[in-house]
Structure 1
Amino acid sequence: MFKGEQKVVALRKVLNSSFAGSWGENPSAGNSGNALVLRAVNLAGDGRICYKNAAPRTIPQAEVDRKRLKHFDLILEASGGGPGVPVGRVALYEDGDSERPYICSNFFRVLRPNQKSVYPPFLAKKLEFLYQSPDVWKYQQQTTGIVNLKLSDYLDQHLRLPSVSEQRRISSVLDAVTALEQKIEREMKKQIAVRKGLVEELIFSARCEEVVTLGDVAKISGGLTLGRELARRGSVDLPYLRVANVQDGYIDCSDVKKISIPAAEVERFKVQEGDLLLTEGGDIDKLGRGAVWDGSIDPCLHQNHIFRVRCSGLINPYYLEFYVSSSAGRSYFLSVAKQTTNLASINSRQLSSMPIPVPALSEQERVVRIIRRQNGQISRLRQEISKVRKMKQGLAKDLISDEAIKGATG
C-alpha cells in the first residue's frame, strides 16, 4: 500500500517553529482592527477552519507581523476543552479570504511545519486522527475550570511518517472523500432551506379555526435532573436524551448516554413515540429547538433541559413541531426568554402560554405530509453524510495510523 521509506520522528523535529497566538484588544469605535483572530468557534471539527466569524482585534503591528498565519500553518488548540472534552483539536490554515492578516487566539499554538520533512495537510490529518483516539487523554492537564494541553509532551510525541511523496498521495485520497462529504453537505443545506420555506408558506397559509395556548392542547413535562443521587436499590440503567441529541427537526441517536434511575421514576421521565421534545435554551440556537420522537429506542428517558410535549387529539405533534420552528414560533420564544449575553432560556410556564393557531386536523395532516416528504430527502442526505464520514474514518485508520504505516512498509 505504501511506497518508499518511512521514519519515526518527534513532532517538534518536523516543525520550523511553534508559537502562541494572541488576543489583543477590542478595536476602537469606527476602527475594524488590524487582524482577524481565529478562536475555538472557528474550528469546524474535522480539521477545517470556518473563517466567517473570525474576531476583528487590534494587536501591536510588530506582533501581527511576527504571528500572522502563513499558508499551510497548523493551529493547535492548547487550552479550552471541558468535562469529557479534550483539547488538542488541529486545523490546517490555508490563505484566508481577507485583506487583514489572520492570527490564532492565545488559546492556540501555531505549528509551522518544515515542508521538506512533512506535507502539512498530511500532518494535520495525522494529528486530528490522534485527537479522535484515546491517546489524546495522556496530553491533558486539568486546572480550575479549564483543560490545558501538556504542550512539551505533545511536541515530543513520536510520529511514524512515510515519505513526503507518499504523504501527498494519502492526503489526496482523503481529500477526495472530504470533497464528496462537502458536496453532500451543500446539497443538504439547500434542502433544509427548501424545508424552511415550505414551513413558512404552509403554516401561514393554513386556515386557522382557533388560537389556543400550548397548555390547552398538550401536557408539558420536565425531565430528570442529572447530578442528584439516582442510583440506589431497585434502579435500572436506561438510555436518556440530552440537549445534544435534540436537533432542529430531528433526534440524533448516534451518541445516546445511559443513566441509573429508580424503577419507580421511569414512567415519569419516559418519552414515547409522538412526543415533541424541545430544548429549554442555552445558546440562542438551542432555544425551543426540537423534533418529534419516533420511538426508535424504548424505553428512553429525557434530561431536565428538554421539555416533553405530549399532544392531545386536537393537534398533530408534527404540525406543532413545524409551527414551533417557524418564524412565529421563534419570535415568541425570543420575546419571552430570559436572556443574557448569547444565552437564552424559557421555562415550562412560558412554553405552556405559547399561542398556537390550530387549523382543522385534516389541514394539519396535509401540511405535515408535504413537509415530512421534504424531511425524508434531508434524512437520506444526512445518512449519506454519516456513511461517508465512517468511510473517511476507516480510511484514516488504514492510511494514517502509525500501525498502518509500520505494517505496510515494515
Structure 2
Amino acid sequence: MGGEWPDGWTRMPLADAGKWLSGGTPSTANSKYWGGDIPWISAASLKEFRIAHSDRQVTPLGASNGSRLVSKGTVLFVVRGMSLKSEFRIGVTEREVAFGQDCKAIIPADGIDPHFLAHAVQVRTPEILAMVEETSHGTGRLDTERLQELEIGVPPLAEQRRIVAVHAVVERRISALERVRAKLKVAEEALSAEAFTKAGLLWPVTRLENIAAVAAGVTLGSEPVGDGTLELPYLRVANVLDGRIDTADVKKVRILRSQYERYALRKGDLLLTEGGDLDKLGRGAVWDGRIAQCLHQNHVFRVRCGEKMSPDFLALYTSSDAGRAYFQRVGKQTTNLASINSTQVKQMPVPLPPLAEQENLLGPIGSARSRLAALDRQVSKLRVVQQGVMEGLLSGEGTSLAT
C-alpha cells in the first residue's frame, strides 16, 4: 500500500498521526496500586479490537505511579511480547484505561478518527511484523521509530467514517457467527468433559512418547539458497488455534530438500503450540491435510500417533481440563510468557482406552466439531473478504464502496 493517493487525501507518516505515549507497570509490591476499577492493558490482555476490559486493574493512585492513563478513543497496540512473533495486536479504547510498557498509545490528531487510524495501521500487519526483532529473552520487539515512518493515507473525516462503517458491517456478521460458535463450543466442551469423567478412571495411563512421536519444526532465520532447496508453506503459532487450524494466512519458508521428511506434515498429525500467552500453552488441533506439502515451525510441535491412539482422541485429551492442567504445571512461566519443551510433551501422561472405545466417545463430539468447523470456514472467508475490502478502501481504491 502507499504510492499515489486520491485527491483530497493526505500522505502522513504515523509519527504525525497523533500524540505517541508509552506506558508502565505500577509496583506490584504496593497493594494501594492494584485492585481498583481502571483496566490495566498489557501485551497479554490486549486481545480485542474494542478495548474495555482486563484481568488486572489498577487504582487511580496506581495509574499515576508507574503507569499511564488514556481516555476513550485512544489507539493502543503491542510493541513487545511473544505474540508479536505471529500477530500484531491493536485496538481502540472504549473507556479510560491504563497500560503497560509492552504497549504504545496514539491519541489521534484533530481530524483523524481513532477507528480509522487503527484500521489503517492494522491492514499493514505484514509490513509491521517484518519489522519485529527478537530480544535476548526470545520475545518479539517492535521498533517504534521504524513504525512511525510508516506512511498512511488520510482522507477527509467524513470519508474516514464511511470506511469505518464498511468494516463494521462485515464485523457484525462475523460477530454473529462467533456468538453461535461460542455456544457450540460450550456444548462440545461439555461432551468432552463427560467423556473423561465417565470412564477415565478405568483406563490405563501411559506417557505420550510410548504411543506417539513428538517432533519440533523448522527454525526460521537463515534460509538455504540454490539447488537442492524447496520453498513450501508452513504452519506457525498463529495458524494453530484451539481445536482448529486456520489457513487464511499461511507463510512460506525455504528448506533443504533433504529436510522435507523431517518437517513435513501428514494428515492426522496433532499440532500443539509451544507457548506464548498462558492460555495458549499446549493448544492444538489435528491437521487435515488441506495443503499439500506443508511444514510446521519450531514453535509448533508435531505429534504423530501410533496404532494404539487416535489423534482426534489425543487432541480431545490435550484440550481437556486435565491436559491443560498438565501443561500449565510443567510449563516455564514468566510475567507475560509461558512455554513448554518437547521433553515435557513426550512425558505427558495420557489415558489409553481401546481404540474402539476411543472412536465411540468421539462420535457425538465429532458432530459438534464438524458444525464448529463449518462456522470457522465461514468466518475465515469473511475475514479474507474484509481484509481485501479494507486494503482497497484504505489505499484509496474502490472508495465508492464506502459511500
Question: Does the alignment reach a TM-score above 0.5?
Answer: yes
Indicate whether 1:49 and 2:51 are aligned: yes
Cα distance 1:21–1:368, how it changes in 2: closer, same or farther (>3 A)? same
C-alpha displacement of 1:87: 11
Offset at 1:36? 4.1
CA distance in 2 between counterparts of 1:49 and 1:128 reads 15
SS at match of 2:352: strand
The aligned counterpart of 2:3 is none
Deviates more, 1:120-129 or 1:55-64: 55-64
- Tell me how far 1:161 sits from its aligned partner: 1.9
Map 1:114-263 onto structure 2 (within 5 A): 114=110, 117-129=111-123, 131-132=124-125, 134=127, 146-150=141-145, 159-162=153-156, 164-206=157-199, 208-227=202-221, 231=225, 233-263=227-257
Q: Percent identity?
A: 33
Match of 1:94? 94
Q: TM-score with structure 1 length normalisation?
A: 0.76
Give the Cα–Cα distance (whole angstroms) in 2 for the partners of residues 360 and 257 of structure 1.
38
**1:276-325 Cα shifts (integer Å, max 9, x gaps):** 22234444334332222212223233334433322222222211111122
CA 1:266–1:56 in 2, change beyond 3 Å: closer, same or farther?
same
Deviation at 1:26, TM superposition (A): 2.0
Q: Name structure 2 gaps, 5 residues minimum.
A: 1-5
List aligned pairs for 1:16-27, cutoff 5 A.
18-23=19-24, 25-26=26-27
Query: Residue 10 and residue 53 in structure 1: after superposition, are their counterparts in 2 closer, same or farther (change >3 A)?
Result: farther
What CA deviation, in whole Å up to 9, does each residue of 1:94-126 have, x standing for no partner? 23xxxxx42344642332443xx4544444444
Cα distance in structure 1, aligned partners of 2:314 and 2:11 = 57
Partners of 1:332 and 1:63 lie apart in 2 by: 35
Map of 1:75 onto structure 2: 75
Q: CA–CA distance in 2 between the matches of 1:312 and 1:270?
A: 17
Counterpart secondary structure, 2:245: coil
3-state SS in 2 of match to 1:25: coil
Q: Is the 8 A contact 2:331 2:338 kept in 1?
A: no
Q: CA deviation at 1:200?
A: 0.9
The answer on whether the counterparts of 1:37 and 1:105 sit within 8 Å (CA) in structure 2 is yes
Trace 1:290-369 onto structure 2 (pairs within 5 A).
Answer: 290-341=284-335, 342-348=337-343, 350-369=344-363
Q: Which residue of the partner structure matches residue 370 of structure 1?
A: 364
The CA distance in 2 between the partners of 1:280 and 1:79, in whole Å, is: 21
How far apart are residue 230 of structure 1 and its match? 5.0
Which digits, 9 at most, give the CA deviation of each residue in 1:150-188, with x for residues without a partner?
489659x574424x4454444334322222222222222
- Relative to 1, partners in 2 of residues 1:8 and 1:193: Cα closer, same or farther, differing over 3 Å? same
Question: Using a 3 Å threshold, how does the CA distance of structure 1 residues 79 and 359 change in structure 2: closer, same or farther?
Answer: closer
**Distance (Å, rounded) in 2 between the aligned partners of 1:334 and 1:89:** 24
Structure 2 SS opposite 1:220? strand
Q: Where in structure 1 are there 5+ consecutive unaligned residues?
A: 96-100
Q: Does 1:108 align with 2:104?
A: yes
Following superposition, the deviation at residue 388 of structure 1 comes to: 2.2
SS in 1 for 2:50: coil
Give SS of 1:359's match: coil
The answer to whether the Cα contact below 8 Å between 2:283 and 2:319 also exists between their aligned partners in 1 is yes
Distance 1:144 1:121 in 2: 30
Which structure: larger Rg?
1
1:39 and 1:343 map into 2 onto residues whose CA distance is 15
Helix, strand or coil for the counterpart of 2:302?
Answer: strand
Counterpart amino acid of residue 49 in structure 1: I
Secondary structure in 2 aligned to 1:103? strand
- The Cα of 1:340 is off from its aligned counterpart by 4.4
- The one-character-per-residue Cα deviations of 1:50-101 (angstroms, maximum 9, x if unpaired) are 522455264575999xx743333x3254954899979997533223xxxxx4
Q: Residues 301 and 203 (structure 1 numbering): CA distance in 2 closer, same or farther, change over 3 Å?
A: same
- Pick one of 242, 264, 274 that aligns with 1:270: 264
The alpha carbon displacement at 1:402 in A equals 2.8
Contact 2:223 2:254 in 1 (8 A): no
- Matched AA of 1:149: T
Seen in structure 2, the aligned counterparts of structure 1 residues 239 and 365 have a Cα distance that, compared at 3 Å, is: same
> For the structure 1 residues 263 and 77, does the alpha-carbon distance in structure 2 shift closer, same or farther, using more than 3 Å as the test?
closer
Asked whether the equivalents of residues 52 and 94 of structure 2 are also in contact (C-alpha less than 8 Å), the reply is no
TM-score by length of 2: 0.77
Compared CA separation, residues 199 and 26, structure 1 to 2 (3 A) = same
C-alpha spacing 1:193/1:41, structure 2 compared with 1 (3 Å): same
SS at match of 2:8: strand
Point out the more displaced range, 184-193 or 30-39: 30-39
Q: Which amino acid aligns with 1:186?
A: R
Shift in alpha-carbon separation, 1:261–1:335, aligned structure 2, 3 A: same
Deviations 1:180-233 (A, max 9, x none): 222222222222222222111113324745333323322333434444775565
Deviation (angstroms), 1:364: 1.0
